[in-house]
Homo-oligomer: A and B are copies of this chain.
Amino acid sequence: MTPVAASWLPLSPGERSVAIEVLLGGPLSRTELARRLDLSAGSLTRLTKPLIESGLLVEVPEAGAPAEVRQGRPSQPLDVVAESRSFIGFKITEDMVYGVVTTLRSEIVARYDRPLTSREPAEVVEVLGEMTDALTADHPRLAGIGIGVGGLVEDRAVVGESPFLGWRDVPLAELVEGRTGLPVVVENDVAALVEAETWFGAGRGLDRFVVLTIGAGIGYGLVLGGKRVPYAEEDRGFGRHWIIDPNGPLTPDGARGSAVSLLTIPNIRYQVQAATGRDRTYEEILELAAAGEPMPARVIEEAARALGTLVAQIANFVLPQKILLAGEGVGLMDIAGKTVADTIRALRHPLAAPVELETKVSDFHDWARGAAVLAIQVLVLGAADA
């Protein structure tokens, strides 16, 4: 653990649940909160008082639209002061560091990226430090930093193993804390994105929720009971052994016909190049497929069927309330969404509840935002794993 970051104030369990509910549920009156949290009205007066005094919550002047004219004393909605603290989120890639500043609500208010010239831990820490310095100038009320890294992260502090950075057991949180003086949370990038979507995104308030990311690789995140389930092979080549079609294409990465070989961007590009002799970007391939060019269309069609199979299997076994497709490689949903949907339908029981599927193309700033959410969770609300 990081050296117990400066939480806003020691929140009691009751106060914390109120704070989180308002943070995630928009402005809410005390009565509404009492209903949602199954507490009495009196308890809500008690719990909200210190939160308001500390400046975390404020009474807002009634929602703009008095939709329904109600009798009785009007309710007094409470809202978090989103700007009262800022958070930095970093996503470290092979050659870039993407940075964002967010509010307490995880709205991005600034972006700042820097190329990475060296992958030496000391150098990276220095880049992060300089970026933090620059961002601090414009955003003084910084409460903490979250960092997302591809690879295995331990205790939300130490990068245990990151192949693309060539790191082993780098105590990144400690180093950045020493450089910046701010509390730091480090997490695997997929895990951070999953947490962010669970708190502020597609998975808000859900009990069973799955995130599937498609990009340079495949990422899988399982959220049960509002908590992400960690697993051993996390972010060390996930999906390489999910065989979808034993006769599928053979690609440089991943087993033959695996999710990785059928769906990731590098392997789709590889397949098209192998068939046509020309290297094209992922976007170009999607356009060509949409235009009916045979080979790209076939590769994309096959990828769509693979994705549908994957989603159907997940839906059948995990029974999630929602599946989020994220990452840079979900563009195929736009042009082959029907194939995906048809495949899913064919592999599900007719009586089964339809899969709620959401697609969200994410860029690197979304990954950085995910890391910032980790900081919000841990530093402000002290909800390390709640």
Residues of A near any B CB (own CB < 8 A): 208, 210, 220, 222, 224-225, 229, 231-233, 236-238, 240-243, 313-314, 316-319, 346-353
B318/A317 in contact, CB under 8 A: yes
Seed contacts A233-B351, A233-B353, A317-B317; 4 additional CB < 8 Å A-B pairs = A208-B224, A237-B349, A241-B316, A314-B317
**Copies in the assembly, this chain:** 2
> Known interface pairs A231-B319, A352-B231. Does A347 touch B243 (Cβ–Cβ under 8 Å)?
yes
> Known interface pairs A313-B313, A314-B317. Does A349 touch B224 (Cβ–Cβ under 8 Å)?
no
B318/A318 in contact, CB under 8 A: yes
B238/A349 in contact, CB under 8 A: yes
Interface of A, secondary structure class, is loop
B229/A319 in contact, CB under 8 A: yes
Contact partners of A348 in chain B: CB under 8 A: 241
A349/B233 in contact, CB under 8 A: yes
* A152, chain B: closest CB distance, angstroms: 10
A347/B231 in contact, CB under 8 A: no
A232/B352 in contact, CB under 8 A: yes
Bound CA–CA A319/B241 (angstroms): 15
21 contacts between A and B (CB under 8 A): A210-B317, A220-B317, A222-B319, A224-B224, A224-B225, A231-B352, A232-B351, A232-B352, A233-B352, A233-B353, A236-B351, A237-B351, A238-B349, A241-B347, A241-B348, A241-B349, A241-B350, A243-B346, A313-B313, A313-B317, A314-B317
Bound CA–CA A211/B6 (angstroms): 44
The chain B residue with its CB closest to the CB of A354 is B232
B319/A236 in contact, CB under 8 A: no
